[in-house]
Amino acid sequence: MADAETPTNPALYPLTEGEATRAGLYQAEWMQQHYPDRFLDLSMPRGVFKGSREEWLEAAAIIMGGWLNFALSSKQRYTLYRGKASVKAVPVSFLKHLVDTYGGKPSEYQFNPQKVRYACSLQDGGMSTGRALAHVHYAHATGNNYHEIRMSVELGGRKRKGDSARVADVLLHEMIHTCATRHGHGGAFKQLAQNIGLVGPMTATMASPALATRIWDEVVSVLGRYPHNEVQLTARGQRGKGSRLKKCICMKCGFNFRTTEKWILQNRQAYADLRGADISQVPNPCFRCPTCMMSAPSMIVEGYPVGGEEE
């Protein structure tokens, strides 16, 4: 959470002394209004989060929501032209600039924590390598008048704080989408993302060093690790055998069937008892084929070494 005396830079460029002081005061007031006491209890002792992953996402979003809305109220404008960053003071706030440029109501560009819900789920795209790390369903599409941000189960943060910081900057990307619902990855989205400190292609942004530092100091160090282990998905065809049943094949006619380990062991034990031998001496194959009706066992159980002698 922000400290009014030593505010942290929220973007790529240094704030003026007056803006820095205003940023700290704004964040302190924002947290007082929107950060519920239950999140204070869930993150105590400091840096150890005891809630669910959805609660962690909500708490992180409230903290970073103050950064977004302060950037909208600021009269410092960040621009990036041909790889060169610059900042200038302008006579109107960033929010008014967006309204004048793209139209709509001011509230459409502001982050409202009361209108967003969070979840962790599988993403669209099946098992393709281009799966999104997160996705936002806009309020007009969800049918419940809430934006729904869904983080991928492949994003984990329980093991390392650095991974949790990555979850937070992906979350921030999706939060900006809720502030620019009609702009895709351009227009107001691009301007707000660059002003808050996200860099790289707008479809796959990363936190700038200054933003990454702020996320570490004010989100991860306060809340602790994101309470979710990364889920590693494996495409079909690359997985192990999908069935626990063992396949038995006749070496002569090719007849086959599947059965469990339990019945294989029972059959070998019965075969051993008939011979008065130990089960370790029972050969594989040890099933008689019902099609060939051979006197000696002729079926191989896949996965078992062939041993012993046949009669």
The 10s digit of each residue's pLDDT in 147-156 is 999 999 989 8
Give per-residue pLDDT as tens, 276-302.
Answer: 778 777 766 567 777 776 656 667 776
* Rounded distance between C-alpha atoms, residue 207 and residue 220, angstroms: 14
| Percent residues over pLDDT 70 in the chain | 79
Mean pLDDT of all residues belonging to the chain: 81
Every domain of the chain and the residues it spans: 17-223, 246-301
- Does 307 score more than 70 pLDDT? no
Yes or no: say if 300 and 284 are a contact pair by the CB < 8 Å rule: yes
pLDDT digits (tens, 9 = 90+) for 108-148: 999 999 999 999 988 875 555 567 889 999 998 888 899 99
What is the model's pLDDT at position 231?
Answer: 86
Q: How confident is the model at residue 311 (pLDDT cuts 50, 70, 90)?
A: very low
Give pTM, 2 decimals: 0.72
Question: Is the per-residue pLDDT at 105 higher than 60?
Answer: yes
Question: Are 188 and 12 a contacting pair, CB within 8 Å?
Answer: no
pLDDT in tens, 172-208: 999 999 999 989 999 999 989 988 889 889 999 999 8
